[in-house]
Amino acid sequence: MRTFLPSPPLPPDAHGVRRVEFKALGTNCALLFRQSSDQIALQFVAEALGWIQAFEAKFSHFRPDSLVSRINAAAGKSWVETDAEMDQILDLAEAMYRLTNGILDPAMLPLLRVWDWKKARESMPAKTDVEKARDLSRWQDVQRRPGGIFLPREGMGLDFGGFGKEHAVDQVIAIAKRHGILDILVDLGRDIFALGGNGQHPFWHVGIQDGVRPENCLGGLAVSGYAVCASGDYARRFEHEGERYGHILDPRTGWPVRHGLRAVTVLASSCVVAGIYATSIFVLGWREGMVFAESAPGVEACLQNEQGQIATSNFIQHQVRGTP
């Protein structure tokens, strides 16, 4: 099993904030927290990183020895036994699918494989390959029973990328609370939850990604007791015959989203909810996405395209004064 190589918990800065940086879940991660006791700080970091390592080992389809990879390898062949933790994740996948009316489909691995963003994109995939993969990418075809799951057709596959990092963020926050840490910002690849304050203010400052000019921020958010997740095509994309294609797929078409939306930033009471809404809104687009955001209690969103931004009514309440 791989081991993380994080930086050690640094001595608190002038405001009492410790920072730990590490790589996990395929991305750059950081924990910023306030805890006066070195011993408690070390115990928290050890438990949090241990949990993340175990989660990745079990639920990443990039790990050939993971449980989800064993489920995918058995597609069209046999049932696979699941434990309580896997059943919980599968229940979460079902809830995500239903909440978004299939906009987020946890059985989209065949489509993700066709649109392999780790390969240099020199040509478009064949339409027949996209359609074949889309036909295999159907959560409603997945069969479940207590303690077991079966993917009935060979080539099917599960991917928990739609909520996996976000679930991990929420779990690390729960671990922090168990250690009595009430001032913390968890950042797993820019999926964020902030609790308490940063020692200067009773909140943490989180930037709003500019999807048109990714090197800039649109402004800042004062966040405490909320998650912040962003979705967009600014980070991973390519151009083909003058058209821009991002990495976020629409399972209804099997093709990358291409309606002009550049970035979505969402605040919600949990990172899982924030992440689900951020991606769903981006897939739905400017008008439908805004309607979806406004229909969700406790969810605030900001949408950006080349012409400007729109936001739900209470999003501005979280913006730091002096920012756009």
Say which residues have a Cβ less than 8 Å from residue 37's Cβ, sequence separation at least 6: none
Helix or strand (DSSP H, E) at 50: helix 38-59
Say which residues have a Cβ less than 8 Å from residue 163's Cβ, sequence separation at least 6: 92, 93, 96, 104, 272, 275, 276
Question: Count of CB atoms within 10 A of residue 250's CB?
Answer: 18
265 is in an annotated binding site: no
* Cα distance between residue 142 and residue 69, in whole Å: 15
Say which residues have a Cβ less than 8 Å from residue 236's Cβ, sequence separation at least 6: 117, 246, 247
3-state DSSP call for residue 165?
A: helix
* Cα distance between residue 78 and residue 74, in whole Å: 6
279 is in an annotated binding site: yes
Helix or strand (DSSP H, E) at 59: helix 38-59
Binding residues: 162, 279
Query: Which residue positions form the known binding site for Mg(2+)?
Result: 162, 279
